[in-house]
Chain A
């Protein structure tokens, strides 16, 4: 039973991270928007859903403990409302942030998006009325009540996300996005608005990240700002690059290899020395792996596959 529960934990986390990886593929793989603020959108989704669905009991406990009761726990909405709110809110935040950011050259966009994620982190730490600060929100309900069923729910949403992202690739919108990635000037002179195309890719990706955040909140049942630090972002980047940027199967593979075997799989090995040593060693190895991959196999384990027209038209 122990081992089964262990596998289940890892599988759920891998599935949730895979959703973020797919969203990063929409941003960076398809449209060349290097989003280094994944943790920020993840946080927006997680907090949106957590605040809406936290039970009244949580607010009462907060007040009982002497805190001013915040927004969390006032509404006690069902899971589906939380999920939709997470998707919509992450998209709206993406829209607002995208207006200044999407004009920038890629490397500026990368740095600015780190700043965005940090800003969201500071808001989560400091706006007590909204997020209850660094203590976080607890008692978030798991909609299925049971971790096995919840894993199936996460798998279902992963399948939907995979389908959506694949569908984007093979429909005209994916062509426009990839056109923007290859050469903005040409794509613009073929009548496609660069800003609108970038924005649609940006919002679509951000919304998917928001959905992943919602799933995370309901899985861990308690969220804290400390979970939404840049390391989260970097992990997604690393498994996407290792697995194969621009290839959705590669991203799933990367998530299983890096997140499953490495980051999560070794979590339950006996600790060596102080408790922080093992995670640090893991991150060092992951960092080295990133450098090695970019140097020797920049396209990842599975490179981009181009569909033949015959298969497309069929």
Chain B
């Protein structure tokens, strides 16, 4: 999410408020476009498989680098490169699930063990990418376009396309979850895996499709992050905790919450970058996450009430 805009124009103080708001809207929406889809994908993965996959950040990286391979080495247009990258990343996700996680899940190890394993998997992906491309940052080869004012926003045509894709894909996923057989199966498996097994639903199939969707979304997110900034092996690892912040803000297993959480987190980050200090924008996402975990661990859409008492909870005796 480091998108190397050290040259963000600084506005003079008298019109600062107006322009800062404009910056906030534009950059907030762009950051949202990079975060929304991977956080939705991570949300689906957690919802169905019930463990935190820390390799997801590195799957985002893999998506970006696969698109980079197509775009730079094979000179393919970035749009087609994105499609190919989605397919390849989904393949990678299914491969990882089948080779590593499937056996462990069948052995009924706890979610924490799977989390630790996913850490090792992430380490492998990150370093394979590092060997392939080296530590230096890359950029996609995209046609140069000029930014234009659109009402209060200030975007290049590429960025408008990104935001549109992001919104359309998110809506598509929501419709899929609601109205298709696969969506129903995913929800059923999430609610009660053992029951689904009894009903004769092939859980393995549901897991496979979930990973295809989750990793496809990761690839889109990775490419978008790369479009706005640079592509380097550590990008996904940096983004991972931010993605978790989005999820926790919206409620960890709530797909709508994941997208709304991404929106809130994105604007919180950009507001921090504008008014407090750009290097601390990621920290603001973490702080938001801690705040939500403190007062409402089920996220802003969770059923429980806000628990302000948690602040002083360790002192309390009576509830």
Stretch at the interface among A69-77, A135-143, A287-295, A304-312: A287-295
Of residues 249 to 300 in B, which have CB atoms within 8 Å of A's CB atoms? 277, 279-280, 282-283, 286-287, 289-290, 293-294, 297
Give Cα distance in the complex from A111 to B112, angstroms: 11
Q: Does the CB pair B120–A290 fall under 8 Å?
A: yes
Q: Does the CB pair B290–A100 fall under 8 Å?
A: yes
CB neighbours of B111 from chain A (8 A): 106-107
CB neighbours of A286 from chain B (8 A): 120, 123
Specify the main secondary structure of chain A where it touches its partner: helix
Find A280's partner among B100, B130, B244 (CB 8 Å cutoff).
Answer: B130
Find B290's partner among A112, A125, A241, A274 (CB 8 Å cutoff).
Answer: A112
CB neighbours of A290 from chain B (8 A): 116-117, 119-120, 123
Interface size range of chain A in the complex: 35 or more
| Given A195-B314, A287-B120, A288-B120: A125 in contact with B293 (beta carbons within 8 A) | no
Interface size range of chain B in the complex: 35 or more
Q: Does the CB pair B112–A34 fall under 8 Å?
A: yes
A130 at the interface (CB under 8 A from B): no
| Given A107-B51, A280-B130, A280-B131: A237 in contact with B124 (beta carbons within 8 A) | no
Find B241's partner among A114, A199, A294 (CB 8 Å cutoff).
Answer: A114
Chain B proximity mask over A274-289: 1 for CB below 8 Å, otherwise 0: 1011001101101111
CB neighbours of B283 from chain A (8 A): 118-119, 122-123
Q: Does the CB pair B131–A111 fall under 8 Å?
A: no
Chain A proximity mask over B188-232: 1 for CB below 8 Å, otherwise 0: 000000000000000000000000000000000000000000000
A234 at the interface (CB under 8 A from B): yes
Find B103's partner among A111, A287, A295 (CB 8 Å cutoff).
Answer: A295
Q: Does the CB pair A115–B116 fall under 8 Å?
A: no
| Given A34-B112, A234-B119, A277-B131: A288 in contact with B124 (beta carbons within 8 A) | yes
B237 at the interface (CB under 8 A from A): yes
A15 at the interface (CB under 8 A from B): no
B157 at the interface (CB under 8 A from A): no
Q: Does the CB pair B123–A283 fall under 8 Å?
A: yes
| Given A195-B314, A291-B100: A125 in contact with B241 (beta carbons within 8 A) | no
Find B112's partner among A110, A238, A276 (CB 8 Å cutoff).
Answer: A110
Q: Does the CB pair B120–A291 fall under 8 Å?
A: yes
Interface hub of B51, B134, B287, B310 (most chain A Cβ within 10 A):
B134
Give Cα distance in the complex from A100 to B291, angstroms: 9
Q: Does the CB pair A237–B119 fall under 8 Å?
A: yes
CB neighbours of B103 from chain A (8 A): 295
B113 at the interface (CB under 8 A from A): yes
B150 at the interface (CB under 8 A from A): no
B121 at the interface (CB under 8 A from A): yes
B92 at the interface (CB under 8 A from A): no
Give Cα distance in the complex from A107 to B247, angstroms: 14
B127 to chain A, nearest CB (A): 4
CB neighbours of B51 from chain A (8 A): 107
Q: Does the CB pair A276–B135 fall under 8 Å?
A: yes
| Given A104-B297, A107-B115, A112-B289: A298 in contact with B279 (beta carbons within 8 A) | no
A230 at the interface (CB under 8 A from B): yes
A120 to chain B, nearest CB (A): 10
Q: Does the CB pair B282–A118 fall under 8 Å?
A: yes
Give Cα distance in the complex from A209 to B293, angstroms: 25
Of residues 58 to 81 in A, which have CB atoms within 8 Å of B's CB atoms? none
B308 to chain A, nearest CB (A): 13
| Given A100-B290, A291-B121: A237 in contact with B52 (beta carbons within 8 A) | no
A148 at the interface (CB under 8 A from B): no
Q: Does the CB pair A283–B117 fall under 8 Å?
A: no
A126 at the interface (CB under 8 A from B): yes
Interface hub of A123, A125, A294, A298 (most chain B Cβ within 10 A):
A294
CB neighbours of A167 from chain B (8 A): none
Give Cα distance in the complex from A156 to B294, angstroms: 40
Q: Does the CB pair A230–B237 fall under 8 Å?
A: yes
B166 at the interface (CB under 8 A from A): no
A108 at the interface (CB under 8 A from B): yes
CB neighbours of A284 from chain B (8 A): 123-124, 127-128, 131
CB neighbours of A4 from chain B (8 A): none
CB neighbours of B277 from chain A (8 A): 126
B233 to chain A, nearest CB (A): 9
Query: Which residues of chain B have a CB within 8 Å of any CB of chain A?
Result: 51-52, 54, 100, 103-104, 109, 111-113, 115-117, 119-124, 126-128, 130-131, 134-135, 237, 240-241, 244-245, 248, 277, 279-280, 282-283, 286-287, 289-290, 293-294, 297, 310, 313-314
User: A286-B120, A290-B123 are known contacts; what are 16 more A-B pairs with Cβ within 8 Å?
Assistant: A34-B116, A100-B310, A103-B310, A106-B112, A107-B112, A110-B52, A111-B244, A118-B283, A231-B123, A284-B124, A287-B121, A287-B122, A287-B127, A288-B124, A294-B104, A298-B113
Query: Which residues of chain A have a CB within 8 Å of any CB of chain B?
Result: 34, 99-101, 103-104, 106-108, 110-112, 114-116, 118-119, 122-123, 125-126, 195, 199, 230-231, 234, 237-238, 241, 274, 276-277, 280-281, 283-284, 286-291, 294-295, 298
Instruction: Identify 10 residue pairs between A and B in the complex whose beta-carbon atoms are under 8 Å apart, listed by A's number.
Output: A100-B294, A108-B293, A115-B241, A115-B245, A118-B241, A237-B116, A276-B130, A283-B126, A291-B100, A295-B117
